[in-house]
Amino acid sequence: MYSHTNILYSMTSSPSPRVALFVTCLVDVCRPSVAFAALHLLEASGARVSVVQNQTCCGQIAYNAGDRNSAISIAKHTIKLFDHVDYIVAPSGSCAAMLKLHIPELLKKNPKEEENAKIFAKKCWELTDFLVQVQKFHLQSKPSSSSKEIIAYHDSCSGLRELNIHHQPRLLLEAYHKTPVSPPDNQRCCGFGGSFCVTCSDVSAKMADDKIDAVHNTQAQRLVGGDLGCLLHIAGRMQRKNIPLKVDHIAEILSRSLGPHPHVPTTGIA
């Protein structure tokens, strides 16, 4: 297990950046294969990747629920853990936006903490953003796969509107797999919204149905996105309605196109 990346580890020399993979709580619990896929991609792009065992969650759950004090203490806990790396990369737009934008805002009342938070925030990236902007991974590709399936790409709201993540996953998919299509629904929210999907469950399901219709209209056979929350929500809704559409996290589909996965098999989300 994992032998392929051992080679990559030994090949990395000093200029390669030290990257900590930020394992989001949803990925950790629900879909470890996304984290393994992200490791695979980061290493293939030439980074030295580590995992911080004591990391927990970015604190977004507390922050979006109005529990600011908890979000602040979780933010302080998180910042301390990542001193030793050049970059912190999360396979999620919403967690990356929390780390990069909201944590500095949470700690702005204390100048020392704010300064630390800003240094920390500068090191934080969303996975596809990091692969494209820092590693230029889309330029390192072999010829893209001959797959004929149509892929629809779902832009998650936090990534799209807070971190401007739109072209990065598309560049990577074009380079390693094939050009995805965008659902024709004005990039409308799928209705996940963290705890929103359980507190306003009916509205959330209606929003998922609208999204599923928009994806269906693209004739796509596979839905790909960058945030596990949205994907679990959409895939779960489709399973309930017996709609057979494959769903993948962007890390999983890209990792598969690099060749056999060295860690655990990525079966996709649905």
111-170 residues in contact with other proteins (CB under 8 A) are 157-158, 161-162
8 Å CB contact between 252 and 268: yes
The site for other proteins, by CB under 8 A, has a size of 73
C-beta of 47 vs 269, nearer to other proteins: 269
User: CB 178 → other proteins: shortest distance, Å?
Assistant: 24
Q: Does 27 bind other proteins (CB under 8 A)?
A: yes
C-beta of 178 vs 205, nearer to other proteins: 205
**Residue 209's CB: how many other CB atoms inside 10 A?**
16
CA neighbor of 150 nearest in space, from 183, 195, 186: 183
Helix or strand holding residue 48 (H, E): strand 48-51
* CA dihedral sign, ordered 72, 76, 77, 83: positive
Q: Does 243 bind other proteins (CB under 8 A)?
A: no
Q: Does 101 bind other proteins (CB under 8 A)?
A: no
User: CB 143 → other proteins: shortest distance, Å?
Assistant: 31
- Near other proteins in 6-25, by CB under 8 A: 6, 23, 25
Distance CA(48)–CA(30), nearest Å, equals 25
Q: Which of 7, 11, 119, 203 binds other proteins (CB under 8 A)?
A: 203
Contacts of 192 (CB under 8 A, 6+ apart): 204, 208, 227, 229, 230, 232, 233, 234
Residue 250 structure tokens: 């962007």
Q: Does 91 bind other proteins (CB under 8 A)?
A: no
User: CB 25 → other proteins: shortest distance, Å?
Assistant: 7
Q: Does 108 bind other proteins (CB under 8 A)?
A: no
User: CB 203 → other proteins: shortest distance, Å?
Assistant: 5
Contact mark string toward other proteins, 64..83, x via CB under 8 A: xxxxx-x--xx--x------
Q: Does 263 bind other proteins (CB under 8 A)?
A: yes
For residue 173, give the 3-state DSSP assignment.
helix
For residue 224, give the 3-state DSSP assignment.
strand
